[in-house]
Homo-oligomer: A and B are copies of this chain.
């Protein structure tokens, strides 16, 4: 087994790309990443995506994107783990290079969620839940997360407004990220008055979906400096799972898979939560950010929100999160979000995050979540020495 580094990154802005197809977006991000790495071909392309079959009547994205990105012939396939697809794809890309069987692997995530004629957004997202026991009975994806927050508020006697800073922080950081979808700040008042979506989750507790694509190029660490002055090294790459349906979980508020997956990652990297300089959290909902912080050991159970309330999650706080806007404001094109996190973390660890730069960031963690918490992927990245 050998060490693996990220030698190139690419992305397109998260937006409503009415003028671009799924393939356009993926090709653009892939080519951007290849250009950044200075490579003209690769051994493999792993595409991560959740909903192209349901929304666009298009499966078989591996061969499709490889061909149009100028990579015809190479190994290509698609990896899916609901909204955790991006993270899951990186795990396999990492293993491919670590094994010594592949040298250069591109992992490209893509999701096209506007301009889809075959299914509604909500119908698509519901496929991340248990079709037989959850979604077919009418529980939407927001509703599932609302149930979790209801219980959280009851169990820990916390009011919804304690989560306000998760939304505010994401929006604040998105303003200076040219690839973010919602580039405007929001006030605490706006959060408090936000219309209800599924009680107690309001519009400003929920992240927006969108169209997007993000890509990384992986190479063996010993060759990384041939391609870039600033490789970023993958120190840990771990997946854990839990029951897909909420009612099948042993505990509703503990995010067991986040706990397991972060513990595996800490162990692999030989670090603990106190060593992490940045945490790109999967803030699909403010409540998800809150319980993730707890599950990963950054806060005690019932206290994740205190990190937000006390300002620790800001760019100059002790644990910056959502540094480029997070899912809340950069946007959440579901099957590729995990790769936006990795691209952004790479920008931070290279010192190329512009106005969003976290000072002296050396070790970053990103977590990609599938469904209401059934698949959780954790990566730990390190800046070059």
Chain A 223-253 interface residues, beta-carbon cutoff 8 Å to B: 238-244, 248
Q: Which residues of B contact A128 (CB under 8 A)?
A: 59-60
User: Bound state CA distance, A59 and B53, in angstroms?
Assistant: 10
A101 at the interface (CB under 8 A from B): yes
A158 at the interface (CB under 8 A from B): no
A150 at the interface (CB under 8 A from B): no
Q: Which residues of B contact A238 (CB under 8 A)?
A: 75
Copies in the complex: 2
Interface string of A55-92 (1 = CB under 8 A from B): 01111111110110000111111111110000010011
| A71 to chain B: closest residue by CB | B241
Residue of B1, B72, B79, B127 near A99 (CB, 8 A) is B1
- Would B126 and A63 count as touching, CB distance under 8 A? no
A260 at the interface (CB under 8 A from B): yes
Residue of B59, B74, B126, B241 near A241 (CB, 8 A) is B74
| Given the contacts A77-B79, A101-B95, A101-B98, A242 and B72 also touching, CB distance less than 8 Å | yes
User: Bound state CA distance, A257 and B257, in angstroms?
Assistant: 38
| A44 to chain B: closest residue by CB | B239
User: Bound state CA distance, A62 and B371, in angstroms?
Assistant: 11
A130 at the interface (CB under 8 A from B): yes
- Would B126 and A66 count as touching, CB distance under 8 A? no
Total A residues in contact with B, Cβ cutoff 8 Å: 65
Residue of B67, B95, B244, B375 near A248 (CB, 8 A) is B67
| A125 to chain B: closest residue by CB | B59
Q: Which residues of B contact A75 (CB under 8 A)?
A: 91, 238-241
- Would A62 and B1 count as touching, CB distance under 8 A? no
- Would A63 and B371 count as touching, CB distance under 8 A? yes
Chain A 267-296 interface residues, beta-carbon cutoff 8 Å to B: none
A381 at the interface (CB under 8 A from B): no
Q: Which residues of B contact A243 (CB under 8 A)?
A: 63, 67, 72
Binds B, one of A131-139, A163-171, A179-187, A213-221: A131-139
Q: Which residues of B contact A136 (CB under 8 A)?
A: 57
A123 at the interface (CB under 8 A from B): yes
A174 at the interface (CB under 8 A from B): no
Chain A 85-131 interface residues, beta-carbon cutoff 8 Å to B: 88, 91-92, 95-96, 98-102, 123, 126-131
User: Bound state CA distance, A79 and B49, in angstroms?
Assistant: 10
User: Bound state CA distance, A244 and B370, in angstroms?
Assistant: 29
User: Bound state CA distance, A130 and B54, in angstroms?
Assistant: 15
- Would A53 and B100 count as touching, CB distance under 8 A? no
Residue of B63, B74, B132, B242 near A244 (CB, 8 A) is B63
Chain A 347-385 interface residues, beta-carbon cutoff 8 Å to B: 370-371, 374-375
Q: How far is the CB of A130 from chain B (nearest CB, A)?
A: 7
Q: A63-B241, A76-B241 are in contact. List 7 more A-B contacts (CB 8 A).
A: A57-B135, A60-B128, A60-B371, A63-B82, A64-B130, A67-B248, A77-B88
Chain A residues within CB distance 8 Å of chain B: 1, 21, 23, 44, 50-51, 53-54, 56-64, 66-67, 72-82, 88, 91-92, 95-96, 98-102, 123, 126-132, 135-136, 238-244, 248, 256-257, 260, 370-371, 374-375
Closest 3 CB pairs of A and B: A99-B99, A63-B374, A58-B131
Give 14 A-B contacts (CB < 8 Å), ordered by A residue: A21-B132, A50-B59, A53-B127, A63-B242, A63-B257, A63-B370, A64-B130, A66-B241, A67-B248, A72-B243, A73-B240, A74-B241, A78-B80, A80-B80
